[in-house]
A and B are shown apart, each in its own frame.
Chain A
Amino acid sequence: MTETNRWPWLFVPSVLLVAFLTYQEKTRLELAPVATWSILTTGILIVTAGLFIWRRRPNNRCWWMISAAGFAWFVGDFEHSIREPISVFAFSFGRWQGALLAWALLAYPGGRIETRRGRAVMVSLVFLFSMRSLSRLFLHMPPDVAGYGTTNRFLPITDDRWWRLVENIFGWGYPLMMLAVLVIVSDQWLRASRPGRRMLSPALVAVASLTAIVLAETLAGWNAVVGSNVRVFQVVSYAYVVVAWSLAVGLIRLRQTRSAVVDLVAELAGDGTPVQLGPALARALGDPTLQLLPWSEAAMAYVDNLGSKADLDSFGPGRAVTRIERQDQPVAIIVHDIALLEDPGLVNAVVAAVRLTIDNADLQAEIERQLAEVEASRARIVEAGDAERRKIERDLHDGAQQRLVTTALALRLAAARLGENVDPSTRTVLAQAVKELGEALDELRDLARGIHPAILSESGLVAALESLVDRSGLPVDLEIHIPEEPPTSIAATAYFAVSEALTNTLKHATASRVKVRAVVADGLLDIIVTDDGRGGATATTGSGLSGIADRAAAVGGVFHLHSPHGDGTRFELKLPCASS
């Protein structure tokens, strides 16, 4: 809430001041203290109801109508003020609280009078009250003798017939209009469905009270009521309080209906699939007959859950259709009780919630789709890389390696053909060439194995790991339990991870013992490489270890490195492995 709309708090000191002035006035008039206190508490409670609504529903205009009614309540009490301008004003503008409360009633619950007849009644009421106030201001001629009221000093009219006419019209018109308000509100209530009635019932209490007040006032005559019986006066006073607070409580309950929307959003956020939307909406809006009909692109129509097209005109009386659209595209319609429209904010909130949910579900589906796509393509890249490595290895094997062996063999044969009668230096050169080729072959073999070990695709992970450990040049304890060959990409990841771990250990750890454990359990291939070296290994970007982490992630695995300085290193890799 911003600074600017804090000013209604001024009502608190204002109403206390007015109450104090009223108290002084009534004390001066020597009114029974019980009656005085009724007047004060009634006015204060009505203003409080208005402020209460303002605090809880700041956007609902009912709050100021009710607060104003509270202040208006006090006005009439200054009719007998010794200060003439005050008594004239009080006499002219007393009892407006009835009109203001009727206004709030008709505007309930939205804060605006939505029906034409409601507006007509309200206009009539304002007209009646204005007529009365103006005629009291300008036409009234009180009897001087009684020392009661005041002398008309604005217009030179000596005949009081006009004033009496207006008073009579008001005397009949006001209760009639109030009966009209009763009829309107009751009719609204009778036509409403269950949720509608729940919303309107406070107004029904309020309108019944207000009508009772007005009828009591009219039948008994205002002055008679006040003068004759303090008890009756108290009942009437507190009836006003009942009117104001019924509306306040009703609006707060409306707020609770709104909070059902909040619950709805929360519920949808939890597991927001549009399938569950319908029932959730029905719960949130308290309308079990509510239907959510999604738009079907294929049918070019809204369809029910059996897939048949919905006829928008077939829902009958008492049903309303609220459309949900997004970027001018139809999304769904909600078919619900028409009474829910009496609080348009509620329906708007629900529509927004549904739209958000559908947006959210769409976005989530889109993100999941993209993520799945990215994961799949990442796995494909790894697989393609492996396939490429296999191909390079095979090309080296069948090409360069084979040619080098053949060439070396040819040189060997050339030396043999030359026989004994050849320059010994030629023989040495040939022998040297064969030796060089042999070393080239060794290097090429290591290179090819580093690219992709043939044994991995030929004999599987177990043999490949054993071979790796054989060639590592490290004292390794090997524990392997892999009853079934894992998928190719998993096996390759496991192999290269162990290879990288052993390389790392050999290069950096100065370890005396290394343990390699590769065990399949519960559908996971768990690979642990530990050493007792000096630790401090990190999987920094670009390092071989971070490559292992990336590879592991690409096949849906997890890589973990624990390498405190001076306390050995532990690589752990968990890979999903269908063959458990």
Chain B
Amino acid sequence: MRIVVADDHPLFRAGLVELLTIAGLEVVGQASTADEAVESVRTTLPDVVILDIRMPPTNTLEGLDVARSIRSEHGSDVGILLLSQYVETSHAVNLLAEGASGIGYLLKDRVLDPAELTDAVHRVGNGGSAIDPLVIENLLKRRRQRSHLEALTPRERDVLAAMAEGKSNQSIASALSISEKTVETVTSRIFTKLLLEPDPDEHRRVRAVLTYLQGTDNG
């Protein structure tokens, strides 16, 4: 899998590149500013670009703009994984507004867990998503009031959160120490309780769950 890494901090970038390389991923380009990132993606056409959300020149939300322009230039061919010192639910909501496929949004600290990082990179590279658990937690919290989420058991809620993060049945199973079969059963129960159409496709499933979580209706 071919990766472009964009972060204005050289040491962090180097560390991240090394970490990715150790994990068997190929880093084909590096960038330290927003413009460089766009340019690098244009020339190398990677599977995934890892972007720091704050980059020069203004050090605010360049990452989001870069993501938007890459998305409009390359569609979902290039997966985008945004890293940030803070995760803000509203950024995630903005990011996911145009679809969850090939999108990731993680707290920067997550890179300290190489397994989690590579899992996320792979998911994003394969058209899936990787949403930070903190975002999902907030979405669940916001949605819990006056909604069918109240009817979920704690276990079902955990599975729902993992699904929303973009995890596959397999990784959900290993994360929660249950069998994949159980995950499938729980998943279909959740969809029934939330009055959602069951969907075997994992990517579309994430989309449905995120849409549900962001919804403002009482459904």
Interface on A for B, CB 8 Å cutoff?
394, 397-398, 401-402, 405-406, 408-410, 412-413, 416, 434, 437-438, 441-442, 445, 449, 454-455, 457-459, 462-463, 466-467, 470-471, 475, 477
B interface secondary structure, majority? helix
- Cross-chain contact A459 with B112 (CB below 8 angstroms): no
Partner of B114, one of A405, A416, A442: A416
- Cross-chain contact B112 with A434 (CB below 8 angstroms): yes
- Cross-chain contact B91 with A459 (CB below 8 angstroms): yes
Given contacts A457-B60, A470-B141, are A405 and B111 in contact (CB under 8 A)? yes
Partner of B19, one of A412, A449, A457, A471: A412
10 contacts between A and B (CB under 8 A): A398-B59, A406-B9, A409-B19, A409-B111, A412-B114, A437-B112, A455-B88, A458-B61, A466-B89, A467-B90
Given contacts A397-B85, A405-B109, are A413 and B19 in contact (CB under 8 A)? yes
**Alpha-carbon distance A475/B86, docked complex (angstroms):** 22
Given contacts A409-B19, A459-B61, A470-B141, are A445 and B85 in contact (CB under 8 A)? yes
Interface on B for A, CB 8 Å cutoff?
9, 11-12, 15-16, 18-19, 22, 54, 59-61, 85-86, 88-91, 108-109, 111-112, 114, 138, 141-142, 145
Given contacts A459-B91, A467-B90, are A412 and B112 in contact (CB under 8 A)? yes
Partner of B12, one of A394, A406, A416, A458: A406
- Cross-chain contact B15 with A397 (CB below 8 angstroms): no
**Alpha-carbon distance A406/B112, docked complex (angstroms):** 9
Given contacts A416-B22, A438-B112, are A406 and B90 in contact (CB under 8 A)? no
A interface secondary structure, majority? helix
- Cross-chain contact B86 with A455 (CB below 8 angstroms): yes
- Cross-chain contact B109 with A455 (CB below 8 angstroms): no
A466, closest chain B residue (CB): B90
B111, closest chain A residue (CB): A409
**Alpha-carbon distance A397/B141, docked complex (angstroms):** 27
B90, closest chain A residue (CB): A463
**Alpha-carbon distance A412/B114, docked complex (angstroms):** 8
**Alpha-carbon distance A438/B114, docked complex (angstroms):** 14
Partner of A470, one of B91, B108, B114, B138: B138
Contacts of B12 in A (CB 8 A): 402, 405-406, 409
Given contacts A405-B109, A434-B112, A458-B60, are A467 and B19 in contact (CB under 8 A)? no
- Cross-chain contact B90 with A410 (CB below 8 angstroms): no
Partner of A454, one of B18, B86, B114: B86
* B42 → chain A closest CB, angstroms: 26
A465, closest chain B residue (CB): B90
- Cross-chain contact A470 with B15 (CB below 8 angstroms): no
Given contacts A445-B86, A457-B60, A467-B90, are A408 and B112 in contact (CB under 8 A)? yes
* B134 → chain A closest CB, angstroms: 9
A449, closest chain B residue (CB): B86
- Cross-chain contact A397 with B54 (CB below 8 angstroms): yes
**Alpha-carbon distance A463/B142, docked complex (angstroms):** 13
**Alpha-carbon distance A97/B141, docked complex (angstroms):** 105
Given contacts A398-B59, A408-B112, A470-B138, are A455 and B90 in contact (CB under 8 A)? yes
Contacts of A477 in B (CB 8 A): 145
A404, closest chain B residue (CB): B109
A410, closest chain B residue (CB): B15
**Alpha-carbon distance A157/B141, docked complex (angstroms):** 132
Given contacts A402-B12, A470-B141, are A416 and B61 in contact (CB under 8 A)? no
A397, closest chain B residue (CB): B85
- Cross-chain contact A459 with B90 (CB below 8 angstroms): yes
- Cross-chain contact A441 with B109 (CB below 8 angstroms): yes
* B143 → chain A closest CB, angstroms: 12
B139, closest chain A residue (CB): A470
**Alpha-carbon distance A455/B91, docked complex (angstroms):** 9
**Alpha-carbon distance A398/B90, docked complex (angstroms):** 22
B142, closest chain A residue (CB): A470
> 9 nearest interchain CB pairs?
A463-B90, A409-B15, A470-B138, A406-B12, A406-B11, A455-B88, A458-B60, A402-B9, A408-B112
A470, closest chain B residue (CB): B138
Contacts of A463 in B (CB 8 A): 88, 90-91
**Alpha-carbon distance A442/B60, docked complex (angstroms):** 20
